[in-house]
Amino acid sequence: MRIGNVNVKVSIVAIAVFVVFTIFLLVASVFNPEVRSQLIWLIPALFMLLVIPMALNYMSRREYADLEPQYAAVAKTVRVKLINESMIGKSVRIEGVVERVYFQFLNRPQYLVADRSGAISVKMFTSTEEDIKVNDVVEVMGQVIHRYFVSGDPVINCVSIKKLKKPKKEV
């Protein structure tokens, strides 16, 4: 769903929660007359279970869209092998192939992106603009951070991930 220039996505978890509580409400209102009298505020509250995640996704996607040109101005294009702990906080750009995708269903996708020199984890804290799959050749832009908050190997806190060309076909 597009709102302005932002492609808003609701995670499957939010949809599942909405569906579950809708069923609860339907069952409760059938068997309990008291619930029926409260529907006037229960139904709007139910829809907030979808509206709030959508609004949060829209706000975070728009914020990332605003950040993208700032990062583009300062990010250096490097090979994965050159990214190390001393670069924590630096803005970087890498190009590579997506080898693995995790947590896309939570709207907090993580990717393992590899180039000739190595592979690195790319974490994004909002949904992506495009649908990124395994074997897609992508350009990633973001900031180098520790994997676990204050420790762990360096990973990329992704601000932008875009496909560069058609995905490779497996031989």
Partner 1 sequence: MSQEYTEKDGSRNRSIEYAVPILSFGGALIGLLLLVNNIQVDTHIPILGSLFASFALAYLAWIRPRKDIVALSTPVYSIIFLAFPLDNVSAFILEVLYAVSLTALLVRLKYRFGAPAAPVLDKKELLDPLKSYVERTRDVLGATGTEPAHSATVAFVRFAEGEFLASARGAESAIAHLSDLSAPQVIQHAFAIVQEQAERLDKTLPQPESFLVFPPEDASLLAKIPDPKFGRSEEYDTALENALLVLFACAWTASETDHSFLLQCQTFAQKLLAP
For residue 168, the tally of other CB atoms under 10 A from its CB is 11
Residue 5 binds partner 1, judged by CB under 8 A: no
Number of Cβ within 10 Å of residue 8's Cβ equals: 19
Q: Which CA distances in Å does 114 have to 27, 35, 137, 139?
A: 50, 54, 9, 11
> Rounded to 5 degrees, what are φ and ψ at 103?
60, 25
Query: Considering only 19-27, 36-44, 98-106, 140-148, which stretch makes contact with partner 1 by CB under 8 A?
Result: 140-148
- Counting contacts by CB under 8 A, is residue 116 touching partner 1? yes
**Cβ-contact 157, 142 below 8 angstroms:** yes
Q: Under the criterion CB under 8 A, does residue 32 sit at the interface with partner 1?
A: no
Residue 145 makes contact with partner 1 by CB under 8 A: yes
Q: Which residue from 62, 79, 162, 163 is in contact with partner 1, where contact means CB under 8 A?
A: 79
Where does this chain touch partner 1 (CB under 8 A) — which range of 30-38, 39-47, 73-81, 99-107?
A: 73-81
CB 29 within 8 A of CB 38: no
Q: State the nearest-atom distance from the C-beta of 11 to partner 1, in Å.
A: 16
Cβ-based neighbours of 69, under 8 Å, separated by 6 or more: none
Q: Report, in Å, the least distance between residue 53 CB and partner 1.
A: 15
Measured from the CB atom, the residue of 147 and 168 that comes closer to partner 1 is: 147
Q: Segment contacting partner 1 (CB under 8 A): 6-14, 98-106, 113-121, 161-169? A: 113-121
Spatial contact of 141 and 91, defined as CB atoms under 8 Å apart: yes
- Which amino acid is present at 112? L
By CB under 8 A, name the binding residues for partner 1. 76-79, 81-82, 84-90, 92-93, 116-118, 125, 143-146, 149-151, 157
